[in-house]
Structure 1
Amino acid sequence: MQAGLVVGSGGNLSARAPGADECWVTAAGTWLDRLDRGSFVRIRITDGAALDSNAKAAPSSEFALHLATYRARPDVNAVVHLHPQTVLLLDAIGEPIRLVTTDHAFYLRSVVTTPFVPPGRTEVGALAAEACADGTNCVVLSRHGCSVVADSVELAHKRAFYLEEAARLTYRMLLLGRPVEPLPTDWLTPGATA
């Protein structure tokens, strides 16, 4: 919340064990800065069935986003869906996020934007999964939020922070009226570290 990535109970997250056909998704209405064991609902990925008959809460209204992403990306073990303020501002004014630093290029690699679909619809998940099926890890859901994926919760969280940082720097660049030259892509070779 303090980082401006989400307001109130907006946003949700999920995680799974590598290769598992079940994931834990935050429950509807959960505040991400107040998580505990009861904040999650266990769901089977293949059919969306709830796996805990005694679960006290329903999964997030965006659980289809998480399931569709896991189906499209077997390498993904964490999905973070947030509503980062600067990312959404840039989307609203039609400005793409520029990867300004080597960390942005290394951790984000690219940012794809999907067309607007009202929140909670299965189409949100279908579009996000299609956008990340090629290995993209950061998807802006137009006028809604973002979906950031990784093989671990820690890396997904890091990517979400870098996405908002790249958006903030892009916004400042626009205010200054100065374009940012793209980073050379040849420095990012297999095995390179940032």
Structure 2
Amino acid sequence: MRVVLATHNPHKIAELQQIVALTRPDLEVVGYDGPEPVEDGVTFAENALIKARAAAAHTGLAAVADDSGICVDVLGGSPGVFSAYWAGQKKDAVANLDLLLDQLRDIADPHRAAQFRSTIALVTADGAEHVVEGIWAGRLAHAPAGEGGFGYDPIFIPAGQDPASERTVAEFSADEKQAQSHRARAFAALVPLLENL
């Protein structure tokens, strides 16, 4: 069975393909080559549905779209839906990360709580719509660490680690990240819906 992933982001395509391979090896995730819709929603769910609807209409396939970002408690949940554009319209991941660290420069560890959130929308070929969410709790580091991942991974320290050996997501192996990430959690909630396709 083929499902189109409604993104032009190669990192997200590779990540979802790895997650799918672990849970639904019979499912082929293909990239989307159609026009990019304007993401003018103010929530992750609204933006995910905008993308999934456009991809389903363009390809005639069931479409899956993810909208995700980092939500920092002390910033009232920001950057949130603006995570990719936090430092401006260029989608500069390094500038986004640097700006967020600068904004939290004087904030102590107990107040650096954050969550990666992923909302995945599924729009089927017959127009049925479903939305699921995955949350990965943790806190922000004071400086980037690690070479893996992308986006805010170098400053996100997932909760539940041994305090003596905590690592950022960028220091995780790809397999570790795929097993725990917000997208993996959201996709786990999506799997039963895909089985009904």
User: Would you say same fold, with TM above 0.5?
Assistant: no
Tell which has more relative contact order, 1 or 2 (C-alpha 8 A, sep 6+).
1
Which structure carries more strand by proportion?
2
The TM-score with structure 2 as length reference comes to 0.27
Which structure carries more helix by proportion?
2
The TM-score with structure 1 as length reference comes to 0.27
